[in-house]
Each structure stands twice: as structure tokens, then as C-alpha cells.
A and B are shown apart, each in its own frame.
Chain A
Amino acid sequence: MQDISLHLLDIIENSVRAEARTIKVRVVNNISKNRLRIIVEDDGTGMDAHTLERAQDPFYTSKEERVKKVGLGIPLFKQNAELVGGSFKMASEPGFGTVLTVDFTLDHIDRMPLGNLKDTLLGSIIGHPEVDFFIHLIYRDRATEQCFHFDTKAIREELGDIPLTYPDVIEYIDQSLLEGIQNTNMEDV
């Protein structure tokens, strides 16, 4: 993975596979704390303590059809955060869901870039019309705080039976995300 938003996409796919109906994504660019924080919270099947621990092991996968038992998504994300003085935390409860919190040191020279957050979110939202996404982007500086909220449930209610893949809807979501990313200074992090 070349950037953080590709890892984010991978984590969102994990939540979808865990049958999440609601996925909350929060990205906090906190200049005063020198920290970039990603939080993904889902209401999927969740994991017990044993599975949660094994999920961080590269030689474990929940995919039973897989011949080679590897699962690199979570271990690589964890490694990329910890290598730059960040942290990786995962909490889960069977039947309730999973929360993942990943911190990166903002000014660390080896930190991977945030990358194309817009395309990650756009693809996930449109590619999983059965899932409600709550997106929350926050930029914090000593003096200012900029926020962006995006809630696909409200959009779906407004659209009725019009699918998210309707051309004008794709453009609407794309533009909204772009504005939100620009307003919270997340284009080039």
C-alpha cells in the first residue's frame, strides 16, 4: 500500500465483510498535537478477544476458502503506523462491532501520505449502497477548527428509489467530498 487512504479502503472492506450496516469514518488532522488520526467504527459481527489478537498476525485470515493462510491488511497498516512513532488500536465486541484507531506522527519524515481520500470514500459509498456511511473530517490548528460531515443515510432518504450509481448522484457525491476535503485541508497531507 502506498498511502493511508488505501489502508483505509482495505479496513472499510473488512467492515463490509463483517456485515456492517453502518460504518463511521473519522479523520482528524491535528496540527497542534502533530497527529493524524484515523478512526473506523462499524456495527458488524465483531470479534472475540482471541480472534482480535490473531487478526494482527500476518499468518491468520478469516477467509476459509483461502489456500495460503495469509492476511496482510491489518498487520501492514499496524506496521506502517508504528514505524513512524504512531499507534494502532483495535477493540471489538462480538455482536456489536469493531473500532479501529490508528495514529500517525504528522511530521515524521517516513510517514506515508494520506493519499486520495476522496476516491477511497467515493468508491466505498457507491460500491456499498446497502451500508450507511458517516464521514467526519476534522482539521485542528492552534487557532482554528474546520469540520466536514457527510451522511449517506440522509442522501439516500432524499433520493428515494434513485440508485447511488445514477450519473448525477456520482457527481454530487464526488463534488461534496472534494469540497469537504478542501475545507479541512486534507488534499495534501
Chain B
Amino acid sequence: MKTLADLKKIREKAQEDMKLRGGNVRIKIVVGMGTSGIAMGAREVMKTFLEEIAARNLTDVMVTQTGEKGLSSMEPVVDLIEEGKPKVTYGNMNPDKVKKVVVEHIVNGRVVSDYVVATGN
């Protein structure tokens, strides 16, 4: 059974971590979670990002959910926002594409242009 004592341990470990590298968020991932996105598999896309973050121990990435933004025909849609760089929007996402984006874009810093449907603001 998971208890709040487990969280205390996690907090201590995370605080050590943050002392070493600072608490900055390097990349923000925003998953479109409107009705059409959900119907097209956005929940699985979100879940795969979370799994990959946990499995690869990515501590400088943040994931949030948002409503849809008028790209219904390309759902599920995901924005990757990095400071000082134009926003990259990936469309027609699925768990396999998410894994590729995590490795290529988030870890290695190379945009996966095949999946990009929009850039900039």
C-alpha cells in the first residue's frame, strides 16, 4: 500500500536532485484534451508521455492538458514549448509517435518534422 511516508522519501530525493541541476522546466508538453482529441486517443498519448518521463527519469519536463484549439482534423494534437524556441505542434499523434518525439525531440533536441503540423505561435 502506498502511503504519505513514501512521498516524504520521494521529496527528499527530488530536493537533492533539484539542488544539483536547479529546478528549471526545460520543455513544456501540452496535450490537447478536448472532446475530439479524447475520442481520437489523446488519453493514451498523455499516458505514454507520462510513462516515458518516468521510465527515462526526465526531471526537467512538464506535461499539462488543455482544451482543443481548432485543429480537430489532426487530433490528437501536442504542443512542445521550449524557452527561446518557436512552439512546435505535433498532430495525429499516437503512443508510438510519442515515444519517437520523446527520444528525438525531448532527449536529443531534434524536431521530428514528419509529425509537425504547425510551428510558432
Contacts and interface: CB of A to CB of B under 8 A. Distances in A.
Given A155-B7, A159-B7, A162-B10, A13 B65 contact: yes
Given A9-B43, A119-B44, A167-B59, A129 B14 contact: no
A126 B39 contact: no
B33 A169 contact: no
- Which among A10, A122, A124, A160 has the highest number of chain B CB atoms within 10 Å? A10
Contacts of A162: 10-11, 14-15, 18
B86 interface: no
Given A9-B43, A179-B1, A126 B38 contact: no
Given A127-B33, A129-B64, A179-B1, A66 B43 contact: no
A43 B85 CA distance: 36
Contacts of A129: 64
Contacts of A167: 53-54, 56-59
Given A124-B65, A128-B65, A10 B38 contact: yes
Contacts of A163: 25, 62
Given A155-B7, A168-B10, A13 B43 contact: no
Contacts of A30: none
A6 B10 CA distance: 30
B35 A158 contact: no
Contact of A159 (B11, B64, B67): B11
Given A126-B63, A159-B7, 19 more contacts: A6-B38, A10-B38, A71-B35, A119-B47, A123-B43, A127-B31, A128-B64, A129-B64, A161-B23, A163-B62, A165-B63, A167-B53, A167-B54, A167-B57, A168-B54, A169-B7, A170-B54, A172-B2, A175-B2
30 contacts: A6-B43, A9-B38, A10-B38, A13-B67, A16-B65, A16-B67, A63-B67, A65-B70, A66-B70, A119-B44, A123-B65, A124-B65, A126-B50, A127-B65, A128-B65, A154-B4, A155-B7, A158-B7, A162-B11, A163-B25, A163-B62, A165-B53, A165-B62, A165-B63, A168-B13, A169-B7, A171-B54, A172-B2, A174-B50, A174-B54
